Amino acid sequence: MEQRDANDVKEIESLFEKLKSAWDKGDGTAYGSCFTEDADYVTYQGEHLQGSKAIAETHQALWNSVLRGSTLEGEIKNIRFISPDMAIFHGLGVVKLRWQKKAPSRRDSINTNIVVKQNGKWRIAAFQNSRISGPSLLQKIFMKISK
């Protein structure tokens, strides 16, 4: 990996840490600043938020209520550069609610992020989150039938 890529990898990893830190503090403004102004954000429930302002406001409302005191655990699994100013990374994450000692594995999620470098800083332009789960009972039945 060339030196430029190594620095960019560190900056993208730092962006992910900033995102987690903002979550842990319940800071919608800091969370929203991790995204481009026109970012697309799809939650694991399929809700589509558009723009860093909507992302910040929606998360602030959650932290002011049901997600108050929660923390975000996670890590980047891989980063693939599409161009010098664009990359895709996959992150694993799970939200630990304030009364939990450990986040339950059934809440594990994987997210796909498209990050872009704008004015020398990496920001998330698109984010899509999905629960990690195995096949359902119905899927298992259909897989057996199709063999």
What does the block give as tokens for 45? 């429930």
pLDDT the model gives residue 84: 93
Enter the CATH code of domain 3-145.
3.10.450.50
Please name the residue ranges forming H helices in the chain: 3-25, 28-32, 52-63, 137-145
> What's the rounded mean pLDDT across residues 12-21?
97
- All residues at 6 or more sequence positions from 3 whose CB lies less than 8 Å from its CB, including other chains: none
pLDDT the model gives residue 1: 45
Distance CA 66, CA 70 (A): 9
> What's the rounded mean pLDDT across residues 10-29?
97
pLDDT the model gives residue 69: 95
pLDDT digits (tens, 9 = 90+) for 85-103: 999 999 999 999 999 888 8
Distance CA 62, CA 70 (A): 10
Distance CA 116, CA 24 (A): 24
Q: Is pLDDT at 41 greater than 80 in this prediction?
A: yes
pLDDT the model gives residue 143: 74
pLDDT digits (tens, 9 = 90+) for 56-85: 999 999 999 999 999 999 999 999 999 999
Nearest CA-CA partner of 32 in 45, 23, 43? 23
pLDDT the model gives residue 4: 59
Average pLDDT over the chain, rounded to an integer = 91
Q: Are residues 125 and 115 in contact, defined by beta-carbon separation less than 8 angstroms? A: yes
pLDDT the model gives residue 133: 78
Phi then psi for residue 20, to 5 deg, are: -65, -40
Long-range contacts of 6-10 (CB under 8 A, 24+ apart): 8/81, 8/84, 8/87, 8/117, 8/122, 9/79
